[in-house]
Amino acid sequence: MSQHKIDIRYRCLHPSCCVNCREGYLTMSEDFFKELSASSGEEGAFKSPRGACRLGYSQMFKVISVKNVGEAAVSGAAPSAPEMPAEKPSQDPIALLVEEHKDILKILADIEEHVRKRDVDALWVSTNHLENHLQLHSALKEEEVLFPAMRGLVTFGEGLVSTIKEDHREVLSLLHTVRDALRDNDILDGIVKSMIVSLKGHIRKEDAEFFALVSGCLDSCVRSKIMDGMSRIEKAFVAAPAGDRKANPLTSSEREKLDEAIAAVRDLAHIDGGCCN
Ligand SMILES: [Fe+2]
Ligand SMILES: [Fe+2]
């Protein structure tokens, strides 16, 4: 069995999209293309296949041109998978941060489940898990690597960064309040809910607006420096254990040691803003 393969030149119709996949080429079978065109419901457009949008959404793509690339052997009845020109998330810092948001959302689902079950011990662990993820993702990768690297490159970048940092502080402060109460076997439903709503809203803001804007302003050199900084941090980061829920909170010397360890990881993140050219 064979299927006709075609090259499609497309343009993303999302109004604020400016990531690297905004325009490009996709190769896929004609049948698969017909399927995607039918599901778009619009003449001259098609729904983007899985993985084509760097931000992970199914977007409307406008067809700019279509070219035959000949017959290709296809086994089975399923349409052939499209070949994606985009870089893998592991090579692109923005795609990587978007992927990490999915992990954070999974932890939030665990927390919601533990609240429903009134399971204080499970919540103690899942909120610790969330705090470690936020330390690595928000406080280190975003604040210490991405934000300094985009300085001067993004219009209104400074204002956007301070809004994002404010969101980070707010979520962390709600999280600390929730964890403090767990020591006394209390589940602060209202605060947990505010924390989850706040964090989900923050993630939506970054995925749909902030990252789309930032990504369009970073060239490949800056991207690779950001990736290096993030990898260094990832390797050096040591997650804090959940610890004993009933034990007293950290003493000041323990807190000092923890702060020193975080500062050491932060130093590793330093990248200069200049380009390698
Ligand atoms: Fe984020
Ligand atoms: Fe963030």
Question: Quick one: CA torsion of 238, 272, 212, 265, rounded to 10 degrees?
Answer: 10
The whole-number pLDDT of residue 272 equals 55
Helix or strand (DSSP H, E) at 35: helix 30-40
Q: Which ligand is nearest to the CA of 169?
A: 2
pTM here?
0.64
Q: What are phi and psi of 29, to 5 degrees?
A: -75, 155
pLDDT tens, residue by residue, 220-266: 888 999 999 999 999 999 899 898 888 767 666 766 776 777 677 76
Q: Which ligand is nearest to the CA of 103?
A: 1
The whole-number pLDDT of residue 72 equals 44
Distance 10 CA to ligand 1 centre (A): 28
pLDDT at 31 over 90: no
Mean confidence (pLDDT) of the chain: 82
Q: Which ligand is nearest to the CA of 198?
A: 2
- Residue 239 to residue 129: CA distance in whole angstroms: 8
Question: Residue type for 190, please?
Answer: G
Q: Which ligand is nearest to the CA of 165?
A: 2
Helix or strand (DSSP H, E) at 66: strand 60-73
Q: What are phi and psi of 230, to 5 degrees?
A: -65, -40
Residue 31 C-alpha from the chain's centroid: 32
Tell me the HSE value of 131 on the side-chain side, using a 13 A CA sphere.
21
Distance 148 CA to ligand 2 centre (A): 14
Distance 20 CA to ligand 2 centre (A): 21
